[in-house]
Structure 1
Amino acid sequence: MIKVMVVDDSAVVRQVVTETLARTRDIRVSAAAADPIQAQTMLAREWPDVIVLDLEMPRMDGITFLKKLMSERPTPVIVLSNVTQQGSPKAIEALRAGALHVMPKSALGTTQQLQTDISSLASQIREAARARVSALRPAAPSSATMDRKLQNADAVLAPPVAGMRMQNTERIVLIGASTGGTQALEEILAKLTVRCPPIAIVQHMPGNLTGSFARRLDQLCKITVKEAEHGDRLRNGHALIAPGGKHLMIKRQAGFYTVDVTAGPAVTRHCPSVDVLFRSGAKFAGHNAIGMLLTGIGEDGARGLKEMRDAGAHTVAQDAESCVVFGMPKEAIGLDAVVQILPLSQMARVIETAASRPS
């Protein structure tokens, strides 16, 4: 049974979340607090598996509480707040402070709508409860991997031709991430210099947050970071982030690369999908590419990374110890898709080295 604490100054939200989650088989609200001060008292008695947190509350705001929590005893947190809409800075700040997910409360609307959307919250709680999975074990096929109905990258892009010979071009870097990826990407990109090779990124994130996430990274980093637009050219010292709700693919034009940003069905349950980005890397860049799969729940990116390795690309997975969730990298390792398994702290060095390494 997953124990959840709800911290929200709205009695209605506390009540509806508690009553609705009680109908699930595996989740129970073990404590409900009206503000972080009350929550701290409750935490002294019993610690939950997951905390659902509002951001605007009396006596202490949610961001302050979140930072304090992460510094003292890191715990999976889902932010449920009416200030996380439309790419708000608060949503990005919450993710940077350690929240695993953000969910806009005002989008839930009435009590009836709230009850309907708790199923989405329940799924996020289950994912959050699995965070910090650090045991490096041989990967067994997951139920999702075995689900034949699960849409794969064929729905968006035809697979690469086996044995196709690729001309040498500039090196490019393709990165995929999910849960915990916002912090991981910030750590990597902040270390890069403007001489780094072009980078294309898929981070699983709601569509209303990717633009503000890219702008924040652009302010923090020496390199240029922006939300990708259809037709953008991949350039040295630049990183392009897939818009939420759109697939990102690279394409080769003469001796350089551009990106396609296109609508399409969810692949491996995600749009944008890491598998789609990585397949385009296998198909159009081959040995000229580096593929990096970072922290995240699920298997998105594992098969695409295998295709990249088979096409001659250098492939890297984040190690278990530095992952928030060792899900996606673990799946890729199990498929023999990975050349190197590295801690997050060494990822930037691999990217910088690629700039001076011959193709």
Structure 2
Amino acid sequence: MGIYILGIESSCDDTSAAVIHNRKILANYIANQSVHKDFGGVVPELASRAHQQNIIPVIDKALCTAKISKNELHAIAFTNGPGLMGSLLVGASFAKTFSLALGIPLIEVNHMHAHILALFIEGQSFEQPPQFPFICLTVSGGHTQLMLVKDYFEMELIGQTIDDAAGEAFDKAAKIMGLPYPGGPLIDQYAALGNPKAFSFPHPNIPGLDFSFSGLKTSFLYFLRDQLKKNPDFIAQNTNDLCASIQSMIVEVLLRKLRMAIKETGIKRVAIAGGVSANSGLRNAVAKLEESDGCKVYIPKMEYCTDNAAMIAIAGFFKYQNSQFAHHAITPFAKFQKK
């Protein structure tokens, strides 16, 4: 018979619902919010309003596609944080109400941990899921983390950004160049046509396993400012090379710290997760670690990189098996919590 879990994701600007049967995804629907493009970034108030409009239709579609009724569900899993508080509250409120109405358990999920657990969804490109322990580089618009994953529930944060996240660096670089939001995927697209060694942008290399991207962003800003004084058409004439160069620099920082983590821990099982794990430059660079460093590499399918409810559902599945249920008085949290 197996276990059916409904996953709900609403941490930022995407409303998503998924149904999982054991480790197999039966449905995974995402409603994107295009309203933010005009503002050059996510507007929290608009995001929460859109979640309110989207959440019921998205859940209905997920249940319909999975071909099960709500009464067949064993539990409701939802993102409890980190994220935008208004957005989180919409998903949390619906999940609580739905679980009470159905009389089934409520499961709260850490959004960042769920990105990692997405690697355990059936149907990935690798034959077997990662063996514990492994190192996961989790990279998104709001977070950049190196996590030592010891099991489904024990994950040790061994490195993180001290300022901007890598995804934020991509988006800010795109904004500096005048590219529309969201700029990260556009940089990846243009980078494929450019020379990654065309330009270099000095940036600090901080000690240890922590990351810093604010210096790189500032260096990129000043470089373009100086070039535009000489040639007002500099960006338009060099878009591909600029994108390839800034992407190469960001990936270089990420890879350097990942290699340091491999050396310090002695663990050669490595994975990437989060929205920026969809970046082709990062995926290609990490894939090469198998040959260059003798690592076993796990790279998620594209549909499980960006925010989605499938990762919430798989996290809920593991928690259900371990009877890790939440009280309905639980409240969402905006910032990442280690525990």
TM-score (norm 1): 0.29
**Between Structure 1 and Structure 2, which shows a larger proportion of helix residues?**
2
* Higher relative contact order (CA closer than 8 Å, sequence separation 6+): 2
TM-score (norm 2): 0.30
